[in-house]
Structure 1
Amino acid sequence: MAGVNVDLVLNARHVVPVVPEGVVLENHSVVVNEGLIVAILPTADVTGVYIAAETVDLPDHILIPGLINAHTHASMTLLRGLFGISTLHSAAEMIRSGTTCANDMYFFPDAAASTFEKVGLRALVGQVVMEFPTAYATGPADYFAKARAMFTKYKDSSLISLAMAPHAPYTVSDASFEQVLALSREFNVRVHLHLHESEAECVDSATKTPSMMCHQSAEHSRPLQVRNMQRLGLLNDQLIAAHMTQLTDDEIAAVAAAGTHVSHCPTSNLKLASGICRVSDLLAQGVNVAIGTDGAASNNTLNMFAEMKLAAVLAKGESKCCTSVPAATALRMATLNGAKALGIEAKVGSVEVGKVSRKDKECLVVAHARIVCVLQFADLVAVSTDCVEMLPMYSAISHVVYVAGRENVSDVWVAGKRLLANRVLTTIDEVQVKQHCKKWHDAIRDHHAEMVAAKK
């Protein structure tokens, strides 16, 4: 019997599929065709079964699902500035850090979406909503009009999905939240917002104390509680709530009952002294908890390896339990849980051949070896262990979470397309990005100096 022609075979020393949790496949190959994973099998069995147009040997590597940054502001990187080049800068940093998908929320989402699509990075791009005018929109009506236009423009994109992104309860009115919910239902999209990020947000809202953190609702209520987010219908399984550092037991139960997703941003929360998310308690209640970096202005990197490790160790300190958020769970939070939060777990988030289909038109149904299944996109990351710092290694999963860093990422694929090859970006001109960063660094620095001088 002749072998099957395929686009790509990755021969890896270790494959961590994430599902089943804790499993490591030794000396296995991942077979990719038309951007999809069509087989996972021992490397010794590939010869004669598959004929690959390209074969990549990863003899000292751990192959994992692409990391999913579940809350970020890509265009902020030059604040460490303009939206297209800043998003390109972010994309370069994320790819080099093993991130294959980002949940982005910021102004000028069209510029972000087009940049992500151009470089081949997967993204859920939020359509921002606020009460006040900005350089992007004149007010709520304009934000919503621009959102509708975006839903039309990107409805057929294989890489870009869209969400409604009301900034936070202290910048968005009840009336605007009602429109957000209506659009979420009309287009069947996620709602992504900052929620319970700080103590001031919760206390000032509950007491209606005039402050920039007090929510815009007339209710005397913590933002998440029954008289606000729940009352408005927003506490549901389409909501991605970023930060969530201030949660009572009752609020955790409400989040769990609603099926709301939480994006945990440990570095940002600590740097801003916002608080610590009760990740262990959320997971114990069955809440889907993903991991995000937040923006570079409050982190200051987009390094998901750093976030994954911090999420794992911080949960142990917060819960006073050394078994809280083990390495396998932390990796799942950074991959499959992120995909679930974004509503794309049928496409990405694990290294599997067959996943439950959401009938996305780009998911192929194939018949091979008498198995009919819906295939998953090949969003994959190779982590090199060939350095002193990564040796010796006894547990591949523990190493990915507690030892590896973005400097160990050697190769990245999104939908089978190689975005990083032997640590070299393939779809982004790194020299050009550096030049643009230097240019805008100087401009922003000089502008800031002028503002400081004007206040004296």
Structure 2
Amino acid sequence: MTADTITAADSRINARWLIPVEPFGVVLEHQAVILQGSRIADVLPQSEADQKYRTRETVNLGQHVVLPGLINLHGHTAMSLFRGLADDLPLMTWLNDHIWPAEGKFVSEPFVLDGTRLAMAEMLRTGTTTFSDMYFFPEVTAQAAHDAGMRAQVCFPLMDMPTVWGSGPDEYLRKGAALIEQWQGDEYIMPAIGPHAPYTVSDQPLKNAVALAERTGAAIQLHLHETAFEVDEALKATATRPVTRMAELGVLGRNTQCVHMTQIDDSDLEQLVRSGAHIVHCPESNLKLASGLCPVQKLMDHGINVTIGTDGAASNNDLDLFGELKTAAMVAKVVAGDASALSAHRALELATLNGARALGREQELGSLVAGKLADLIAVDLSDPFLQPVYDPASHLVYSNHGRAVSHSWIHGVPQLQDGRLTRIDVPDLMLRVSEWRQQILS
């Protein structure tokens, strides 16, 4: 091979193991990922890369598995500052008596900025490269994520009652439309619409949200069928299940992400299949709040795209998506009564390609394929708690925790190097978090 046939590129990542996600179920060994700018230029055996490419930088990861960056499709990032504030309580008590009063007192632009930075630091340290947020002051979250170089779907809140961010639905929708206009088409930020839940948003605001989504292409994400109480109250008030009401209002569609869905009967399943909506499974939050269990395998068997999210750190209490995957896989087996339900590879797909599908970006994200955006992570499998390694995919789901993540790249830019964040000032952030703790305690 002559010098003329050798291609120059920016970076080469040599991996002991590689899980590309596409094709499904594959674990490759001794692979090289070639990065050029913001894209993956090639994925090929290291021996072939030696002959084909010359790069400015080579990262040797001889005991690591490399895979696509994880996509955390539901959370309330700034609520990281409420982590552990009100534990061991049912959902409505937790919300009405603790979280909503605390939000009314403390949530502000500075609170959201520092809480978002805290959440991003944790997510980056544990393998997440794209997250979805639904919270107040979404313009602050969007700017913080963009400044850090992290991908984010930012859903502006919509509900009937006034909050710190607005006086009611009309103001939320007006501000939300401006958010969509500002960030639409951005490489990192995906603005979206976030109706809180059927029990907090009336029909007309939901119809207006659907109209905004149709006009702009923005996704809709909402909490739906989170608890049996929610469904029972809706049936008492309207004799209609919330999923049916959402379908009748036009909320359910291929651009809709339904969070939780722990209460599903055959009519709900039919509506979900017909609509093409996506499900965001949040198993640890659902378990902690005793909300219920999402029938993940049943949904997948019916062709429904299921993704995964951590929910907020106030109800989880962490944002480690690898831990969430383990819980999801374990719970799925019990719910289905089948030990083969939600296999390790399927679980990894929830947090990668399925998440990209829900965002409408499966052509750019979610797998390690030439031409896709260079969002990828490396997990160090050398620690004794991960030895011996027979199946890296199994280890990632059943044995790993997110702290074994050593490297990450977003848009081709290093975000985590040997476990150290490159774009977040952690010491300064910890000072700010300590100040918030003192304020909230007092």
Q: TM-score range by the shorter chain?
A: over 0.9
CA contact under 8 A between 1:64 and 1:382: conserved in structure 2? yes
Matched, 1:328 2:328: no
Quick one: distance in 2 between partners of 1:201 and 1:394?
44
* Superposed displacement of residue 47, structure 1: 2.0
**1:63 alignment partner in structure 2:** 66
Which of 312, 325, 343 in structure 2 is aligned with 1:295? 312
* Superposed displacement of residue 297, structure 1: 0.8
Quick one: distance in 1 between partners of 2:338 and 2:50?
47
* Superposed displacement of residue 287, structure 1: 0.5
TM-score w.r.t. length of structure 1: 0.89
Structure 2 matches for 1:72-221, cutoff 5 A? 72-80=75-83, 82-208=111-237, 219-221=238-240
Structure 2 matches for 1:246-257, cutoff 5 A? 246-257=263-274
Structure 2 counterpart SS, 1:72: coil
Structure 2 matches for 1:250-399, cutoff 5 A? 250-353=267-370, 375-399=371-395
- Unaligned 5+ segments in structure 2 are 84-105
CA contact under 8 A between 1:119 and 1:427: conserved in structure 2? yes
Quick one: distance in 1 between partners of 2:428 and 2:323?
26
Percent identity, aligned pairs only, is 39
CA contact under 8 A between 1:253 and 1:285: conserved in structure 2? no
- CA RMSD for the aligned pairs? 0.9
After TM superposition, the runs of 4+ consecutive aligned structure 1 residues lying more than 6 A away are none
* Superposed displacement of residue 48, structure 1: 3.8
Q: Which amino acid aligns with 1:404?
A: N
Q: Which amino acid aligns with 1:429?
A: D
**1:452 alignment partner in structure 2:** none
* Superposed displacement of residue 160, structure 1: 0.4
Quick one: distance in 2 between partners of 1:321 and 1:238?
31
**1:241 alignment partner in structure 2:** 258
Q: Which amino acid aligns with 2:153?
A: L
CA contact under 8 A between 1:103 and 1:342: conserved in structure 2? no
Quick one: distance in 1 between partners of 2:374 and 2:28?
17
Which of 38, 41, 53 in structure 1 is aligned with 2:56? 53
Structure 2 counterpart SS, 1:377: coil
* Superposed displacement of residue 174, structure 1: 0.2
CA contact under 8 A between 2:180 and 2:218: conserved in structure 1? no
Q: Which amino acid aligns with 1:51?
A: R
Matched, 1:440 2:431: no
* Residues 125-172 of structure 1: CA deviation (Å, up to 9, x unaligned): 001111111111111111011111111211242100111111111111
Quick one: distance in 2 between partners of 1:105 and 1:295?
9
* Residues 219-269 of structure 1: CA deviation (Å, up to 9, x unaligned): 3211112xx111101121111000000000221122012111000000000
Quick one: distance in 2 between partners of 1:378 and 1:249?
40
CA contact under 8 A between 2:193 and 2:213: conserved in structure 1? yes
Quick one: distance in 2 between partners of 1:253 and 1:91?
37
Quick one: distance in 2 between partners of 1:140 and 1:442?
33
**2:414 alignment partner in structure 1:** 418
Q: Which amino acid aligns with 2:46?
A: T
Quick one: distance in 2 between partners of 1:285 and 1:48?
46
**1:4 alignment partner in structure 2:** 7
Q: Which amino acid aligns with 2:348?
A: L
Quick one: distance in 1 between partners of 2:12 and 2:79?
37
Quick one: distance in 1 between partners of 2:288 and 2:392?
30
- Unaligned 5+ segments in structure 1 are 209-218, 354-374, 447-456
Quick one: distance in 2 between partners of 1:47 and 1:285?
45
Quick one: distance in 1 between partners of 2:12 and 2:251?
44
Quick one: distance in 2 between partners of 1:254 and 1:156?
31
CA contact under 8 A between 2:295 and 2:332: conserved in structure 1? yes
Quick one: distance in 2 between partners of 1:378 and 1:308?
22
Q: Which amino acid aligns with 2:168?
A: G
**2:398 alignment partner in structure 1:** 402
Quick one: distance in 2 between partners of 1:92 and 1:193?
25
Q: Which moved more, 1:99-108 or 1:43-52?
A: 43-52
